[in-house]
Structure 1
């Protein structure tokens, strides 16, 4: 991809998609207002005071969906920061976007394995075992090839850290 900007509708539901350590949260902080981003990790923290507490995942996603629905009901740009690598995980969010008749945008951060490994070594907030990352990478490869057919109006796939660093998000009226 040789573009320097991602065009997103001012009212849309944006799903950030990528394995753990791909840079989704950093991308979200760089390009969107904190109030526009709903993070599954933050929802876990709101429930248990620990964003890494996987036992709260069900409750966290219930909260994430509720918050997203409230924002979309008010026609606010909404960004979902979660791995979203499996089609099943995306479907309820796609349904939600369609319920509110808003454009669906997928931004896939498909980083090379070496980038992911380097980032994993420097993360102090959590650690992921090799099997978890391999499963997420496999799911990313398997389940994001046909995003256009899932209902996304626009799909962007960023394949390197340099590409991510050079991108600007431009909101369309």
Structure 2
């Protein structure tokens, strides 16, 4: 059965169905780049422009639904990021990144969406401006390669084209030219409509760990211990996963450390203590080259990157496992845990959730129960 955000795509119906669409009416845009009007006017024009693109018409029906949903959501968080600058101009810095988090939250909690489809939409929202700005990045090649691993670059270019056409501005021709350059760069790096292929998983991992790395370099695989780094919301089933796959391995469990030290999950000051105690246990395993499991939520890239840096310092092989269950099941399983996390706290974590990227480990596994 094909997934769709909504079967009725009439604008009036979209306003009635989604509060976040209604919010677009109240968000102004800078007249220099968006003379057409507010975010609602622009978004409507983008969805209409998308339907007219020949590349869109040639897509399979499911991919059409994915790109259309991304077009509707692409500026969803201009509502929270739009400000008037001292010079009178209107900006919305950070709306793409925040919009991606909101898109994930909507498609997980409000409109249940299969994981693979949801994450395509989320990344399209996250990177919808990248085809225009990629050429200005300090490391253009890395930018292009990273993008290809996160999202289909052909679909992204389609969305960016619709975004450029769905506005009134004097630089529209330049925007479209930049999108053509983006396609040429993707072709040059062999990642147009497909992820960049690395010769080994370690090569991919190392490329994103080393700022001056080459995608063609193949490092020698010399590892000490193997670290299984679990990621997932409270109630996702991380403990069950350990029992099913790694029951004989040592486990560093942050919830268990909290209980042992009588530190509540909501105690922000105590969380630092819990992490430091856990890292000391990890260092002991790493020094002795013992395999172990790190069992914690690890829902943000910043959290994971700090741990990965620690693990690879000891030449560990890092296997990142992201675990997810449907939203309604998540809360049921959370209530059955020994240490129940309040529902409001779980929902706050969902709003911050960043699913691991393919390079956040020598191996990245997505254990999803849709």
TM-score, scaled relative to structure 1:
0.73
Give the C-alpha shift of residue 120 in structure 1: 3.2
Q: Which residue of 2 aligns with 1:171?
A: none
Map of 1:21 onto structure 2: 235
Q: Give how far 1:76 is off.
A: 0.7
Using CA pairs under 8 Å that are at least 6 residues apart, name the structure with larger relative contact order, 1 or 2. 1
Structure 1 counterpart of 2:355: 144
Partner of 1:154: 363
Relative to structure 1, the CA distance from residue 63 to residue 123 in structure 2 (aligned partners, 3 Å threshold; closer, same or farther) is closer
Instruction: Tell me, yes or no, if the aligned pair for 1:16 and 1:83 is still in contact at 8 Å.
Output: yes
In structure 1, what is the Cα distance between the partners aligned to 2:258 and 2:270?
6
- Tell me how far apart the structure 2 counterparts of residues 123 and 33 of structure 1 sit (CA, whole Å): 18
| More moved, 51-60 vs 91-100 | 51-60
Q: Write the deviation string for residues 16-39 of structure 1: whole angstroms up to 9, x where unpaired.
A: 100000011222233224651100
2:278 equivalent in structure 1: 64
Report the alpha carbon displacement of residue 114 of structure 1 after superposing the two structures with TM: 1.9
More strand by share: 1
- The answer (yes or no) to whether the contact 1:44–1:59 under 8 Å persists in 2 is no
More helix by share: 2
Compare CA radii of gyration and give the structure with the larger one.
2
1:49-93 Cα offsets, whole Å, 9 max, x none, are x56573521111101001001101111112111000011111221
Alpha-carbon distance in 2 for matches of 1:16, 1:31: 12
Q: Tell me the C-alpha RMSD between the 2 structures.
A: 2.6
Would the alpha carbon gap of residues 61 and 19 (structure 1) be closer, same or farther in structure 2, given more than 3 Å must change? same
Quote the residue 2:182 is aligned against.
none
Q: Which 5+ residue runs of structure 1 have no aligned equivalent?
A: 1-8, 162-173
Query: SS in structure 2 opposite 1:41?
Result: helix
Q: May I ask how many residue pairs the two structures share in their alignment?
A: 148
